[in-house]
Structure 1
Amino acid sequence: MDQLKMGDGPILFSRRGALATATLNLPKALNALNLDMIESLSAQLDQWADDDSVAAVWIDGSGDKAFCAGGDVVALYRGSTGYEELRRGETPDYTFTTDFFSREYRLDYKIHTYKKPIVVWGGGIVMGGGIGIMAGASHRIVTETTRMAMPEITIGLFPDVGGSWFLNRMPGRTGLFLGLTGAQFNGSDALFAGMADRMLPDDRRETVLLELAGLEFFADCERNHRQVSDCLKRLQRPPAEQPQSNLRAHYDQIQQLTDHATLPAVCRAITAYDGEDKWLQKAAATLAGGSPLTPWIVWEQLKRGRHSSLAEVFRMELVLAVNLCASGHFREGVRALLIDKDRQPQWQPATLEEISGEQVERCFEAPWSGDNPLADLR
């Protein structure tokens, strides 16, 4: 079936019959999302929602290294506030970060609530903002190359893009563990955690596209959802051919490490791990070296978001994201990881115990006057 090209640039939009496709197209940047990409994809999804000739949507990433490695943190770094500005008493400028996160979360919410089937091919790296797009899709595909994580603790942010929603819905306390440690998880882990629906061979992407494009679609969205589900089930990788799930293998140990009534006790248990398991060693080291503010936010966001609606979650996370970008921690984390690349962030305060309850509470208080910019989400 011929592919009808609908444009080029950072996102490629195409049609294969009734199947509309969007390809994130910044492979050198691992398809990281910038504001233009967010706006472009959101507008195109609106058009396809109203187009009766479109029965289903496919979203993937250009190249074989990543679906999407996250958001444009360097742009957010430029629009954030550092420790020096805070010491001088300067008032943070919330304009860019409010605009960026509110548009990104609107896109994520739109995907969660989209009536037509959305299939996301999550091969390679899927982190941060990439998980935001993938988490809400009706049909989430992983492969043997999938590497997922919410590693915001390394940059003084928090697992956003709906993390308060999907981390709370993972088995046991695996969501808390992943949020605190930023641990990477593979496609089998994603299936176990409810973050993916099918695992397919990474080299079969074009075959899967052709199969989906060749389906007999109908005017009934629910019927089309079933059509897509049946097709992907037929093509999926047998369980015997799937990689081992670290989350499943370490489930009991994760439960034990997180079985404490307070956040400091949980963090002490994880960082005190002295076994020989490389995956747990890395998770412990990442938590130990990460922002001391982020664990408090993770602990509170999961507690406060446990019974929240999806719209309430995104409103809460918008407040958190804007405030954390004005806390100094985010700017210091990005500086150490991506700007100066010394990997030696100088957190202020430097320890979990030095973070006050008042400081945490302020992160949950709206930094603007008037309504939350996502007040209209229902």
Structure 2
Amino acid sequence: MSTPSDVTFQTLSARGGFKIGLVSLNRDRAMNALTQEMIQAIGRRLARWQQSKRIVAVVIRGEGRCFSSGGDIRQLYDGIACADANGLKRADQFFELEYKTNIQLHRFTKPLIAWGHGYVMGGGLGLFLTANHRIGTESMQLAWPEVRIGLFPDVLGTWYLSRIDSALGHWMGLTGVPVTSTDALSQHLIDYQLADGDLEAMIGQLRQLSWSSRTPDNQLLVRTLLSRLQSQSAVTAPASDWQRTQSVITTMMEPVIRQGKVALPAANPYQDDWIQRGLTQHHAGCPASARLVVEQLAAGWRMSLVEAARLELAMAWQACRHPDLVEGIRALLIERGSTPRWQHATPASVPDDWIKALMASPWERQHHPFADL
């Protein structure tokens, strides 16, 4: 459960009598995993700050080792594992709140600056990507790791992974392997690359900007400042895993993209550590999730953000009622080190009807919880 201090909100004085909002995720002991209560508090506070004439910009950061390792899947597991209507209702509410907050923050018009260091994954990545100014540091590890727990790349992964390089998008979704800030920058998943130690200096310089009551002018101020800080930063940019392995992964992903055939090799003949890590995670992951990735990305590039959120909410509703998700969380978190007993042995053995069921909406279009978004 959350405590009131798991997420804190401050206002920092800035020039001209304006203020900068500061959101801090404070669950370092849990790698800043987001609970339902934290997500709700962030959504409510930013709705207030959107309306405030004094708040000109907002910074979101994670205290301690990382920005956020994801959603609190133990909290999710407790709901699903109850196997009763109330437990499933709590799980449904978690996903509905999470995705709806993602859309809300995407529509935040003021400068929203996210500081991405350490793990930026899963639900935490969904929060990070809502910002209109996204900063990655040399320690960033950005990933959608849901294949490992029998879910799917959510928090608008449908939209984002279908808009980066196709081979890399499929690779990230099928393996859950993280990318560094260097590759995130090349794929426009972040906007700026700074050093881990630049945070306080950045906040200090934000407070000294010549703010005004005009949001477009303030957006330009922030872009100019962050571009300048990037050019001046002493950041040691990580090497690009993608540039080194692009030709190998592109060849590997070709039958996946063209034919929907998910049959990745168990070993990499080039003996590249990053590729081997991805292959290992893929083969340990959920076969049905791997099939879902292909379907998601085939549909995602034609969708708006809201349409992607509607699809993902239906898929999350179904995942909570299919056995792989609770089994994946059990093996990864509840009984650490145990081998998950997936419903299917390989992606090829997953029936088409199973995938259709996992993607079927339980609501008529006009009754979808996001029908009014």
Q: TM-score, normalised by structure 2?
A: 0.92
Q: Residue by residue, what CA displacement relative to the aligned partner does 1:173-206 show, whole Å, maximum 9, x if unpaired?
A: 2111100011111111110121101111101211
Q: Percent identity?
A: 33
Q: Where does residue 178 of structure 2 map in the other structure?
A: 184
Deviates more, 1:95-104 or 1:36-45: 95-104
Query: Are the aligned partners of 1:192 and 1:247 in contact in 2 as well (CA < 8 Å)?
Result: no
Q: Deviations over 1:25-70 (max 9, x none)?
A: 111011110011001000000000000101111000111x110110
Deviations 1:59-90 (A, max 9, x none): 00111x110110010111122259xx7xxxx8
**SS state at 1:185 partner:** coil
Deviation at 1:92, TM superposition (A): 9.7
Please give the secondary structure, in 1, of the residue aligned with 2:367: coil
Q: 1:24 corresponds to which residue? A: 25
Aligned partner of 1:223 among 204, 217, 223: 217
Matching residue of 1:4: none
Equivalenced residue count is 362
Shift of 1:19: 1.0
Q: Is residue 260 of structure 2 the alignment partner of residue 263 of structure 1?
A: yes
Aligned-partner residue type, residue 370 of structure 2: L
The equivalent of 1:72 in structure 2 is 72
Corresponding residue of 1:288? 283
Q: Does the residue aligned with 1:23 lie in a helix, a strand or coil?
A: strand
Q: Match of 2:249? A: 254
Alignment map for 1:64-143 (pairs within 5 Å): 65-80=65-80, 94-143=88-137
Q: 1:209 and 1:8, CA in 2 relative to 1: closer, same or farther beyond 3 A?
A: farther
CA distance in 1, matches of 2:247, 2:106: 31
What residue number does 1:315 align with?
A: 310
Aligned to 1:340: 335
Partner of 2:6: 10
Paired residue for 1:158, among 152, 171, 177? Answer: 152
Match of 1:167 among 161, 182, 193: 161
SS in 1 for 2:67: strand
Q: What runs of 5+ residues in structure 1 fail to find an aligned partner?
A: 1-6
Secondary structure of the 1:140 match is: strand
| Paired position in structure 2 for 1:374 | 370
Question: SS state of the match for residue 111, structure 1?
Answer: helix
Taking the TM superposition and a 5 Å limit, the aligned residue runs for 1:237-252 are 241-252=236-247
Residue 16 of structure 2 corresponds to none
2: CA distance, partners of 1:177 / 1:120: 25
CA contact (8 A) 1:81 1:327 kept: no
Q: 1:91 to 1:10 in 2, by over 3 A?
A: closer
1:202 and 2:199 correspond:
no
User: Which amino acid counterpart does residue 189 of structure 1 have in structure 2?
Assistant: D
One-letter identity of the residue aligned with 2:358: C
- For the 8 Å contact 1:81–1:325, the answer to whether it is kept is no
How far has the Cα of 1:9 moved from its partner? 1.1
Aligned partner of 1:61: which letter? G
Where 1:294 maps in the other structure, the secondary structure is: helix
Query: Is the Cα contact below 8 Å between 1:215 and 1:227 reproduced in 2?
Result: yes
Distance 1:130 1:354 in 2: 32
Measured against aligned partners, the alpha-carbon deviations of 1:119-163 in whole angstroms (never above 9, x if no partner) come to 000011110011101112110011111111111111001110000
The farther-off stretch of 253-262 and 292-301 is 253-262
CA RMSD of aligned residues (A): 2.0
1:235 aligns with 2:236: no
Which shows bigger deviation, 246-255 or 276-285? 246-255
Maintained 8 Å contact 1:21/1:59 = yes
Gaps of 5+ in 2: 14-18
Instruction: Give the aligned residue type for 1:27.
Output: D
Give the deviation of 1:213 after TM superposition: 1.4
